[in-house]
Amino acid sequence: MVGLLLLVVLLGPARVAHAAPKAPTHVELIAGKLAVDIYAHDIATQHGALPVWTFVSTGLASQHQAEVRITVKREPNEKVDAYPRDLLDLYRAIYRQAAKGSPLTAGQWLEVPPGLLGRADFQGVVFVPQVPFLEVPSSAGSLTGLIVTKNEAASTETFGLTRLMARLGQAEQFYPTTPWADRKRAELVGPDGNDGSLLAKVPSMRFDAGEVIGGADGRITLSLLPGARALFKQIFAAKPDGGFALLLPIADNADSCLVWEPGQHDAAAIVGPGSTGQRRAGNYVMLVAGKDAYVSLIEDGFGLVFPPAAWAKVRAALEQGTPLTLRDPSFTIEWLETDYTDPVTGAVEHAPGGFRTFVPKTPTPDTGPIIREQIVLLTDNAEFASRVTAEDLAAFLERVDAAIRAERAALPAKARAELVVDFNGDASTRKGLRLVIKPAISKAFAARVQKRLDALVPPAIHGGTIHVQAHYRLDGAAH
């Protein structure tokens, strides 16, 4: 049985404005150890171009602290060089804390003295995965610091970081969250900002080793890292019948995220630019052993009840690290791969956060002699987003797809193989598409495809290179 509420969609804007990058202001904070670059730029929003400053650190990594980016809205009467100086002291504080052996990670928050950015209630900085901008250079693993009130920061401990991120995003209709500090905004989560929430009544825990997505077909998919297996063994030792809520981060391959606030009766979500909300991330998932199978969308998360036989399968899959798909309730457990062997070079790429499947907005045929199976991004997601727009990359990959399909008639009738197209370059790279077909089939087919690929022009890429691979399955018998 599936209980789903009406989804109210708040469209997200394009994430970046396409302007020429400007030279930043460079400030040395600790000589030879810590500096920040301050970029004055605009962000494209639903309400037009928004002038901001973005602070980008260099040197925190020497203390095993991820580099931190903080963005502040610039008011109309403020000059470019009038950036808030108190953020410089904040960066020094982050450095000192990391130097003492306590670096901050995504999901944590730092309490600061009252008065940050001139507001008495701005007493917290919440750290989230990097929200990139095309005009600002990006580095793998960086964090974005969200300046919030103490009430808002404290709410993440019981009600989840994703809930706060989604509510900030809802306020400005920006996905996955509003990354800039607005010194004039109202507090969104006060002392009673989660009154009546289910999460105040059930055991909950922050769980960074997984993420959950609700599909348009009602199927709930829980994606987990290998380390989650040991965590579930500990959880089930204390709660063998479930009844706990796992507070989860927003999935990288989600196109929207559920959002909730007190008094809300219908389901709502913020949606990424150009998306339709087909893959909705949740703030939490709650798994419970019960009598009848049931799936429900509750507030900004998913609740699932499993009858005895199904519950035994769920527990076994979570404790043993095995995949599982159930029909009733409609639920899938998948385990993310953290290693990927590059078919072109043979090198093993490692991603501690796991590799995910990204679903194209325009599906390609899943039958016929040429089938595109997956796209693999081998550049950090945030670096990708800061160097090329999703629209430009998608259009480029569609041109690659068309070039391969244009030679379908040249594919031998008995050919069965895997085809990989590899691009590792920038906007100036010409003839940069490498073709690998295993096992080797017709040289004529490969040569014709390569000739078409050589004629393609890369997308607009800024501030570095991108590395992407498109995987295809060839079956000449399917002509």
| Nearest CA among 228, 118, 126 for reference residue 177 | 126
DSSP string, 301-356: EEEEEE-HHHHHHHHHHHHHT--EEETTTTEEEEE-EEEEE-TTT-PEEEEEEEE-
Q: Which of 181, 204, 227 is the last residue of a domain?
A: 181
Flag whether 52 is in a domain.
yes
Residue with tokens 């300046």, as numbered in its chain: 147
**146 conformational bin, left if phi > 0, alpha if psi -120 to 50, beta if neither:** beta
Q: Can you tell me which residue has the tokens 């650190």?
A: 57
**Cis amide prior to 307 (ω within 30 degrees):** no
pLDDT truncated to tens, each residue of the chain (479 aa)?
A: 333 333 333 434 444 444 455 789 999 999 999 999 999 999 988 889 999 999 999 999 999 999 999 999 999 999 999 999 999 999 999 999 999 999 999 999 999 999 999 999 999 999 999 998 888 988 888 999 999 999 999 999 999 999 999 999 999 999 999 999 999 999 998 887 788 899 999 999 999 999 999 999 999 999 999 999 999 999 999 999 999 999 999 998 899 999 999 988 888 999 987 788 889 999 999 999 999 999 999 999 999 999 999 999 999 999 999 999 999 999 999 999 999 999 989 999 888 888 876 655 555 666 689 999 888 888 888 788 888 888 888 899 999 999 999 999 999 988 899 999 999 998 888 888 999 999 988 899 999 999 999 999 999 998 889 999 999 999 987 76
Q: For residue 76, how many other CB atoms are within 10 A of its CB?
A: 5
Is there a single domain that holds both residue 320 and residue 278?
yes
Q: Is residue 4 part of a domain?
A: no
Query: Strand 416-425's sheet: what is its strand order?
Result: 370-377, 466-475, 416-425, 433-438
**Bond prior to 329 in cis (omega within 30° of 0):** yes
How far is CA 143 from each of CA 56, 155, 255, 345, rounded to the nearest angstrom?
10, 20, 20, 30
Dig out the tokens for 393 from the structure: 């990359």
Residue 149 lies in a domain: yes
Shortest CA distance to 286 belongs to which of 357, 348, 210? Answer: 210
Residue type, 34: L
Q: Long-range contacts made by residues 130-133, C-beta under 8 angstroms, separation at least 24?
A: 130/69, 130/382, 131/15, 131/69, 131/176, 131/177, 131/179, 131/382, 132/15, 132/16, 132/382, 132/383, 132/385, 132/386, 133/15, 133/16, 133/41, 133/43, 133/54, 133/71, 133/386
Q: Are residues 319 and 431 in the same domain?
A: no
Same domain, 272 and 409: no
Same domain as 353, residue 326 = no
Most distant CA pair in the chain: distance in Å? 72
Q: Please say whether the beta carbons of 265 and 6 come within 8 A.
A: no
Expressed in angstroms, the distance from the first to the final Cα of the chain is 41
Residue 82 CA to chain centroid, in angstroms?
Answer: 32
Q: Is residue 187 situated within a structural domain?
A: no
State how far the Cα of 57 lies from the Cα of 71, in Å rounded to an integer.
12
**Residues facing 304 on adjacent strands:** 287, 295
CB-CB contact of 437 with 408 (8 Å): no
Q: Are 214 and 128 found together in one domain? A: no
Residues 107 and 224 both lie in one domain: no
In this structure, the dihedral spanned by the alpha carbons of residues 110, 111, 114 and 116, taken in order and rounded to 10 degrees, is 0
Are both 115 and 243 inside the same structural domain? no
Backbone φ/ψ region at 115: left (φ over 0), alpha (ψ -120 to 50), beta: left
pTM of the predicted protein model = 0.87
3-state class of 229 per DSSP?
helix
Residue type, position 375, single letter: I
Q: State how far the Cα of 89 lies from the Cα of 175, in Å rounded to an integer.
A: 29
33 and 168 assigned to the same domain: yes
Burial of 195 (0-12, 13-18, 19+ CB in 10 A): exposed
Beta bridge partners of residue 35, listed in sequence order: 28, 58
Query: Residue 260 is part of a domain; what is its CATH number?
Result: 3.30.1360.220
Q: Please, what sign has the CA dihedral across residues 372, 369, 334, 1?
A: positive
Domain for residue 86, yes or no?
Answer: yes
Amino acid identity, residue 170? Q
Considering its fold, how many domains does the chain have in total?
A: 3
Q: Do 439 and 373 form a contact (C-beta atoms < 8 A)? A: no
Spatial distance between the Cα atoms of 224 and 332, rounded to a whole number of angstroms: 11
Tell me whether residue 154 is in a domain: yes
Identify whether 354 is part of a domain.
Answer: yes
Domain residues for 122?
15-181
Residue 247 lies in a domain: yes
Q: How far apart are CA 305 and CA 331, in angstroms?
A: 10
Q: Do 24 and 114 lie in a common domain?
A: yes
Q: Are 160 and 19 contained in the same domain? A: yes
